[in-house]
Amino acid sequence: MQVLPEQVWRERAAAHAAAVEQLSADRLARRVQGRRHPVDDFLWEYYAFRPAQLARWHPGAGVGLEGATERAGWSFYTVADGTAYLDLERFRDRRGRAVGFVRDLLTATLSRPGRFGCFGLHEWAMVYRAGEDEVRHGGWPLRLGSAGTDEVVETHTVACSHFDAYRFFTPDAAPRNTLTPTREGQLAMEQPGCLHAGMDLYKWCFKLAPTVPSEITVEAFGLARDVRELDMRAAPYDLRELGYEPVRIETAEGRAEYARAQRGFTVRSNALRRRLLETLDVLGPVG
């Protein structure tokens, strides 16, 4: 096991906390002011991982921290001779099923080619034939209006492979999806071109904390934030007031722009999947 000198790890922990403070500053300010943001608030609210939790730095499995006696009370940490480290046996006993699922999911996703023909229509399907009080981001206008938005859904092929996007489709939109993703079928259907699968890497990082190094978790947060921006720029909402130019997926040019960005995110997300798998390898076999 690698042991980090106290000065080294405390400097890393402080740098991490400062980075998270910068990432979350706007979110915290908005909460005080009672304002909402359709892009930036998503990661904090949907994934329900608080800034204070993200700011807590972890070195990951297989690394000890000299002089970190205060971590004796932290989940899955133990301290011996003044050095704190993760009790991997205890973590495997309690979280082994989660580790096994994430490992299988990442491996399965990496084994498949990305699909790039969905064009972000999941967000359109979430407001298809919805009443004004049912629109998810009702404070923002629809670029094409309700009728124009419905027409886009009706004249394009909806092919969403991610259950956690599909489950928010309106009742009229769900039968239009050419796929039927389910929670139970996630392992068989997840593919690396999916924007939501890329965002979920952030979820898997914090779900497996503290065994995942915090540097990887912050990188996953950054990826998820970039993906969310594309997600909402390609959505039916008009967010130009916030500085987001739309990706007009109702046009051939917009669909090509979306697919190019999607391919770039696939490269980034697959690289992160490989790093996460390497991290999970340190945990060894799980029951």
| 175-204 pLDDT tens trace | 999 999 999 999 999 999 999 999 999 999
Q: Which one is predicted more confidently, 231 or 133?
A: 231
Q: Which of 113, 91, 116 is nearest to 212 (CA)?
A: 91
In terms of Cβ atoms closer than 10 Å to its own Cβ (0-12, 13-18, 19+), residue 125 is buried
Give domain status of residue 124, yes or no. no
- Tell me the pLDDT tens digit for each residue of 247-264: 999 999 999 999 999 999
pLDDT cut 90: percent of the chain above it? 92
Residue whose token pair is 């092929």 = 157
Q: Which one is predicted more confidently, 135 or 149?
A: 149
Give domain status of residue 27, yes or no. yes
Question: Domain residues for 188?
Answer: 2-117+183-283
| Number of domains forming the structure of the chain | 1
> The pTM is what?
0.94
88 Cα distance to chain centroid: 25
Would you say 135 and 233 are in contact if contact means Cβ atoms under 8 Å apart?
no
pLDDT of residue 136: 82
Quote the tokens at residue 94. Answer: 């309690």
Quote the tokens at residue 240. Answer: 């130009």
Give domain status of residue 53, yes or no. yes
User: Among 48-52, 96-100, 225-229, which stretch is predicted with the lowest mean pLDDT?
Assistant: 48-52
Give domain status of residue 45, yes or no. yes
Q: What is the mean pLDDT of residues 150-179?
A: 96
Q: Encode 213-248: b = buried (16+ Cβ within 10 Å), e = exposed.
A: bbbbbbbbbebbbbbbbbbbbbbbbebeeeebebbb
